[in-house]
C-alpha cells in the first residue's frame, strides 16, 4: 500500500466523520491537496510519518512552497481529516464525562496527540531535570520545542492589524482556522465548551506543552486578563469539574504576568508542581469560618487557603487580593501605586486535596526602579544569564522554563569548568568562576554540579520575584500585611 492509501485507511479508521463508503472521496480530497504526481513514500506507518510524506509530495508537485508556514498549514489540513467535527467531539467528551472526568480528558488528550495538535515530537526535544534546593526539589526545563520562526513570518506577524481575524491566538475563532504566514495553522484544532459562572468557556490543550496534559481554559469573549472574585470562583469551578487537574491564572499586569494579557485565560493540567508540595511555614487567621490559612514555605510570597466550602474559600481569597491591591510598605519596597499606576495583583492557583479544595494566592508587585529597571520583584541582573523573562504561573509553581540558548551554553560552561577549550559566553563568567572556586570538578561530576547550580539560580530567581523575603525584615513585613487584612 502506498503512503497515500495508508493515510486514507487511517482517516476511515479514525473518529472522523468518514467511513469505508467515503474511501474514493477521501482519496481524491487528499490528491487535491498534495497533487497527483511524484508520490513520496514514508519509511514507517506512523500517522505523522504518513503526513510528512504527503507534505513532501505536495512540495514536489508545487502545490505548496517549501516553507515552514506552508508545510504546517497543509499538515494540519490533512490531520483535520482524522479529527471529529467540534460538535461530535464535544458530545463524546461530555458522554465520557458521565463515566468520569478522567475518562473525558483522557479521550480529548489522546485525540489531540493523535492528530498532532499537541506537538509530541517537538516537545520530546525539551531538556528537563530535577534540582534540590533550600525550597525542595525544583523542576528545571530548557524549552527547545517551539519552531524557529522564519524572518518572513515574523515580518508578517508584525504587520498584522490589531483588529485582524482571529483577534488573537486564544480566541475561539481559531478552531479550524487554516492559518497564514505569521499566524499558526489550526485546521485540526478543537475546543471543548464548558460553562463557568453562567458563561461559555473553551478548554483545549497547549500545542507546546510545558508539563503533562498542559491545558488552556479560555473565555469565549476576547477581553483582557483580570483577577477578581469571578477569577477565584472560576478556578474553583474548574477543579470541581476536573478534580484531577490543577488550574491557575497568570497575573493581570505586565512584568509579573504571562505573555498574553489581552485575552482572559487560565492554564491547568495533570501535574503536581513543587509549590503544591511545599509545606505551611505558619498558620494565620483570616477570620473566615471553614477556611484554614497559612503562609507557604516558598520563595514567592504565597498564602494557602484550604477548605471544602468554595464560597468561603473565595471570600478569603478576595479578602487577601483586595487588601493587597492597596497595601504599601516602603520599608520593603512594596508599593501598591506610584503616580497613580497600579502595581499590585495576585497569581492564584487552585487544586483539590482529597475532599478539600486548595487555593494558593501569590502576591505580586510589578514596580521598576533605577536600580532594577526590569522589575524590583523580577530576576535581578546577576541571575539574568540564566533567566530574564517574566516569572509567570508555571515558574511561580517551581517549574523553570529556560531559554533554548542554555542547552549549548551550559555545555560550554562545563568545558570551561573542566579547563578545556570552550566558547563560554561572558555573561556566565562570574557564575562559573564561583562554581570553580567552591567545587572540586571532574568529568564525572561536572554535569551534576552545573545542573544543581542552575537549580540554585532558579531558586534565587523565585526569591527575587517574592515580595516578602525570608529574612527577619521580610517575615515581619509579611506578618504586618496579614494583620492588615480584614
Ligand atoms: Zn482573543
Q: Using CA atoms, how far apart are residues 404 and 401, in angstroms rounded to an integer?
A: 9
pLDDT given for residue 388 in this prediction: 93
Distance from Cα 265 to the centre of ligand 1, integer Å:
9
pLDDT given for residue 155 in this prediction: 76
pTM assigned to the model: 0.96
Distance from Cα 188 to the centre of ligand 1, integer Å:
18
pLDDT given for residue 154 in this prediction: 72
Q: Using CA atoms, how far apart are residues 398 and 421, in angstroms rounded to an integer?
A: 34
Distance from Cα 262 to the centre of ligand 1, integer Å:
7
251 and 227 in contact (C-beta within 8 Å)? yes
Distance from Cα 456 to the centre of ligand 1, integer Å:
37
Where helices occur in 267-349 by DSSP H, the ranges are 274-277, 310-325
* Residues 268-326 pLDDT 10s: 999 999 999 999 999 999 999 999 999 999 999 999 999 999 999 999 999 999 999 99
pLDDT averaged over consecutive 10-residue blocks of the chain (486 residues)? 97 96 98 97 96 98 96 98 98 98 98 96 95 97 81 73 88 97 95 96 96 98 96 98 98 89 96 98 96 98 98 98 98 97 98 98 98 97 95 97 96 97 97 97 97 98 98 98 94
Distance from Cα 203 to the centre of ligand 1, integer Å:
14
234 and 348 in contact (C-beta within 8 Å)? no
* Residues 113-122 pLDDT 10s: 999 999 999 9
Q: Using CA atoms, how far apart are residues 107 and 112, in angstroms rounded to an integer?
A: 9
Q: How many helices (H) and strands (E) does the chain have?
A: 16, 15
pLDDT given for residue 278 in this prediction: 98
Distance from Cα 174 to the centre of ligand 1, integer Å:
9
In this structure, how many other beta carbons lie within 10 angstroms of the beta carbon of residue 352? 17
Amino acid at each position: 500500500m502506498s503512503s497515500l492509501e495508508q493515510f486514507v485507511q487511517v482517516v476511515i479508521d479514525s473518529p472522523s466523520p468518514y467511513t469505508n463508503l467515503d474511501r474514493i472521496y477521501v482519496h481524491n480530497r487528499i490528491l487535491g491537496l498534495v497533487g497527483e504526481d511524484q508520490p513520496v513514500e514514508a519509511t514507517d506507518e506512523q500517522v505523522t510519518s504518513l503526513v510528512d510524506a504527503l507534505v513532501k509530495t505536495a512540495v514536489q508537485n508545487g502545490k505548496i512552497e517549501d516553507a515552514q508556514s506552508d508545510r504546517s498549514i497543509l499538515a494540519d489540513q490533512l490531520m483535520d481529516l482524522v479529527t471529529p467535527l467540534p460538535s461530535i467531539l464535544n458530545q463524546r467528551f461530555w458522554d465520557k464525562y458521565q463515566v468520569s472526568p478522567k475518562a473525558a480528558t483522557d479521550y480529548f488528550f489522546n485525540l489531540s496527540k493523535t492528530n498532532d495538535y499537541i506537538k509530541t515530537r517537538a516537545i520530546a526535544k525539551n531538556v528537563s531535570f530535577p534540582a534540590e534546593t533550600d525550597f525542595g526539589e525544583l523542576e528545571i526545563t530548557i524549552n527547545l520545542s517551539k519552531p524557529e520562526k522564519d524572518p518572513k513570518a515574523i515580518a508578517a506577524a508584525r504587520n498584522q492589524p490589531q483588529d485582524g481575524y482571529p483577534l488573537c491566538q486564544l480566541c475561539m475563532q481559531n478552531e479550524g482556522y487554516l492559518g497564514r504566514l505569521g499566524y499558526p495553522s489550526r485546521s485540526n484544532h478543537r475546543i471543548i465548551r464548558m460553562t463557568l459562572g453562567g458563561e461559555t468557556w473553551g478548554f483545549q490543550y497547549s500545542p507546546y506543552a510545558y508539563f503533562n496534559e498542559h491545558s488552556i481554559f479560555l473565555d469565549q469573549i476576547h477581553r483582557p486578563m483580570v483577577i477578581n472574585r469571578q477569577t477565584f470562583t472560576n478556578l474553583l469551578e474548574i477543579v470541581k469539574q476536573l478534580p484531577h487537574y490543577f488550574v491557575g491564572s497568570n497575573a493581570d499586569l505586565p512584568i509579573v504576568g504571562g505573555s498574553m494579557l489581552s485575552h482572559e485565560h487560565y492554564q491547568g493540567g495533570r501535574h503536581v508542581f513543587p509549590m503544591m508540595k511545599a509545606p505551611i511555614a505558619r498558620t494565620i487567621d483570616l477570620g473566615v469560618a471553614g477556611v484554614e490559612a497559612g503562609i507557604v514555605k516558598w520563595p514567592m510570597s504565597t498564602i494557602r487557603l484550604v477548605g471544602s466550602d468554595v464560597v468561603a474559600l473565595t471570600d478569603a481569597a478576595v479578602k487577601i487580593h483586595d487588601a493587597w491591591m492597596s497595601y504599601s510598605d516602603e520599608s520593603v519596597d512594596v508599593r501598591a501605586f506610584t503616580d497613580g499606576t497600579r502595581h499590585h495583583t495576585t497569581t492564584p492557583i487552585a487544586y483539590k486535596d482529597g475532599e478539600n479544595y486548595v487555593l494558593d494566592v501569590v502576591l505580586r508587585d510589578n514596580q521598576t526602579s533605577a536600580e532594577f529597571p526590569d522589575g524590583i520583584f523580577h530576576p535581578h541582573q546577576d541571575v539574568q544569564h540564566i533567566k530574564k523573562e517574566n516569572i509567570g504561573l508555571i515558574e511561580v509553581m517551581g517549574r523553570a522554563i529556560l531559554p533554548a540558548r542554555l542547552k549549548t551554553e551550559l555545555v560550554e560552561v562545563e568545558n570551561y569548568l573542566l579547563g578545556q577549550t570552550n566558547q563560554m559566553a561572558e555573561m556566565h563568567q562570574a557564575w562559573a568562576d564561583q562554581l570553580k572556586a567552591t567545587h572540586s570538578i571532574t568529568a564525572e561530576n561536572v554535569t551534576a554540579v552545573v545542573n544543581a547550580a542552575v537549580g540554585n539560580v532558579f531558586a534565587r530567581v523565585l526569591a527575587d520575584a517574592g515580595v516578602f523575603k525570608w529574612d527577619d525584615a521580610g517575615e515581619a513585613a509579611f506578618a504586618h500585611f496579614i494583620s492588615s487584612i480584614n
